[in-house]
């Protein structure tokens, strides 16, 4: 737990969020500023600031984020239609909250970004 981290506070239930899933390793909740009809964040319970701080010992945890996202996509009814999983890393990657998180986006045709 990091004292000044908003996502750690959501995990600790110190600030409210619409939590859809939680286990001993990850928590998933709806994004407060949805960019699509379905916009869910899947985060590790362990405070890892970004992908840059991921260690080899975290590989299973990172994999778990993806399998939980897949299960939620099925529950939200968007698995067959398709969805997007993205992770922003660092300032130029568009990361604003420095507690690693996977965005699950779907429920409408998503624009294909040309970088």
Residues identified as active-site: 101
For ligand DGP, the closer of residues 56 and 102 by Cβ is 102
Given candidates 28, 95, 100, 102, which one binds ligand DGP under the rule CB under 6 A? 95
Distance separating alpha carbons of residues 82 and 89, to the nearest angstrom = 23
* 74 is a site residue for ligand DGP (CB under 6 A): no
- Secondary structure class of 103 (helix, strand, coil): strand
* 94 is a site residue for ligand DGP (CB under 6 A): yes
* 110 is a site residue for ligand DGP (CB under 6 A): no
For ligand DGP, the closer of residues 96 and 112 by Cβ is 96
Distance separating alpha carbons of residues 7 and 15, to the nearest angstrom = 9
Binding to ligand DGP by CB under 6 A, coded x per residue (else -) over 28-67, reads: -xxxxx-------x--------------------------
DSSP-assigned letters across all residues of 4-57: T-HHHHHHTTSS---EEEE-SSEEEEE-SS-SSSEEEEEEESS---SGGG--GG
For ligand DGP, the closer of residues 41 and 73 by Cβ is 41
Phi, psi of 12 (to 5 degrees): -80, 0
Q: Which of 61, 1, 56, 2 is nearest to 26 (CA)?
A: 61
Binding region for ligand DGP (CB under 6 A): 6, 17, 29-33, 41, 88, 94-97
């Amino acid at each position: 737990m990091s004292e000044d981290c908003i996502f750690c506070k959501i995990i600790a239930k110190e600030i409210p969020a619409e939590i859809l899933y939680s286990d001993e390793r990850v928590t998933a909740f709806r994004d407060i500023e949805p960019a699509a009809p379905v916009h869910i964040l899947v985060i590790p319970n362990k405070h890892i600031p970004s992908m840059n701080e991921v260690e080899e010992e975290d590989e299973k945890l990172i994999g778990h984020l993806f399998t939980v996202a897949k299960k939620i996509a099925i529950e939200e009814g968007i698995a067959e239609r398709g969805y997007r999983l993205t992770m922003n890393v660092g300032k130029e990657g568009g990361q604003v909250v420095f507690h690693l998180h996977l965005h699950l986006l779907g429920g409408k045709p998503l624009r294909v970004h040309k970088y």
